[in-house]
Each structure stands twice: as C-alpha cells, then as structure tokens.
Structure 1
Amino acid sequence: MATTIHLKQLLASFAVLSATLFLTGCIETPVEVAVSEPDPDLVFVRGYRSPSDECQLVGESAFTVDFLDDAADLVACPTGSSAMQTLLAETGSRIVTQTNSFSFFSLPYR
C-alpha cells in the first residue's frame, strides 16, 4: 500500500514537471530591439488578412528597411491586441521588433 502511494506521488511529480517544462517552452523571450521614443513613421499598405484587419502589411520606411525580406511579408499589429494574438496562433511566428505601439512579424510566403 505504501509503495503504491509513493509510486502515485512520483508519477504526479513527473506530470507536474513535464507540464511546467512544456509551458516554459511556450513563453516568448522579450524582443531585444525596441524603440523607446515615439513611434517611427510607418507605411501601412493594407489590412493583412482582410481590409479591416488591425494587423497591417507594412511597406518600406527608414525604420522597416532592415526587417524587410523579399520572401516574407512584414506585418505590424497593435501590441497586445486580439488581432496580434490570433496572428501568433495562426502563423506561429515570432516578433522581430517592437515600437511603443506595434509588434512586427516577418511572415514567409512559403
């Protein structure tokens, strides 16, 4: 009986440990490149997923030139918005940079 209880406690401990490790892997590390002054001038082309999407396809500007890629779309979403959360869930992408108001994602075509 004591062995059974000890074994159950050991299995429960392993389950908690594995869940903790899994959730720790889901936490996104902070972005190192961020702008602390007012938002830079940005060129918004259109809504990314639809015309009314808060996440916008971003064109070239002095700020975005280093983040543009000929094989990916640069998309800006209002930081913390539900649109940003759904974009993250749909694409699994990572934030490439942030400003005071926006988080930027590079979304490959393929």
Structure 2
Amino acid sequence: MKHLLPLALLAACADPDPAPPASLTLSPNGYRADGDQCRLAFETESTVEYLDDAADLVACPADMENLGVFALDTGGVEVARIAGYVLYSVPVR
C-alpha cells in the first residue's frame, strides 16, 4: 500500500485530462479507391465543427507514409488530429 500512495498523490495533483474525443465514424471504403487508407469521416461529436458542404472530411492514419502526397493530390487542408487520424477538408467543388 505504501507504494501506491505516491502515485495517488501524483494523480490527484496532475491536471485532469480533457475528455477523450468521441470515436470517429469512418466509411468502410477507401476515400479515393478500395484499399486506400484514408476514409470519409462522418459526423460525430468530434468532427461536427470541421464539416463543410463544399468539402469532404477525410481521415487518414497519422502514421501514413504519404500524407503529404494525399494533401497535394486532393487539395486537402489539414483541419485536425483526432484519435490517431489526421482530418483533411478536401474540396469537392
């Protein structure tokens, strides 16, 4: 028990973590083609502020090797990083 006391004190003194984001709801299909790691992101509590009727909201894994290429190819602009994904607003018009 004496080993747990310092941990409990540290936890009590630490700043509380912000609430975790609602899980992302992603399309089961790749955004540009089957097998694409990027997926269309649907409206959730975490994404609602990034939705735009003139753009698709696309989530790509943050560790994806070619994130820069995706942004260049699609004209996507990074708008957020949530739950291990980078969210891009990709213009459709």
TM-score (structure 1 length as normaliser): 0.59
Provide, for residues 61-110 of structure 1, a one-character-per-residue CA deviation record: whole Å limited to 9, x for no partner. 11111111111100000113124232123134321000241100001112
Tell which structure's C-alpha radius of gyration is larger.
1
Bigger fraction of residues in helix:
1
Question: What 5-or-longer segments of structure 2 have no aligned partner?
Answer: 1-17
Q: 1:71 to 1:92 in 2, by over 3 A?
A: closer
User: What is the aligned partner in structure 2 of residue 80 from structure 1?
Assistant: 63
Question: What 5-or-longer segments of structure 1 have no aligned partner?
Answer: 1-35
User: What is the aligned partner in structure 2 of residue 51 from structure 1?
Assistant: 34
Aligned-residue Cα RMSD (Å) equals 2.0
SS at the partner of 1:44?
Answer: coil
State the alpha-carbon separation in 1 of the partners of residues 19 and 66 from structure 2: 24
Percent identity over the alignment is: 37
User: What is the aligned partner in structure 1 of residue 87 from structure 2?
Assistant: 104
TM-score (structure 2 length as normaliser): 0.68
8 Å CA contact 1:55, 1:84 repeated in 2 = no
Q: 1:81 to 1:96 in 2, by over 3 A?
A: same
8 Å CA contact 1:77, 1:83 repeated in 2 = no
- Name the aligned partner's letter for residue 85 of structure 1: G
User: What is the aligned partner in structure 2 of residue 68 from structure 1?
Assistant: 51
Provide, for residues 21-51 of structure 1, a one-character-per-residue CA deviation record: whole Å limited to 9, x for no partner. xxxxxxxxxxxxxxx7656311111310112
- Name the aligned partner's letter for residue 26 of structure 2: F
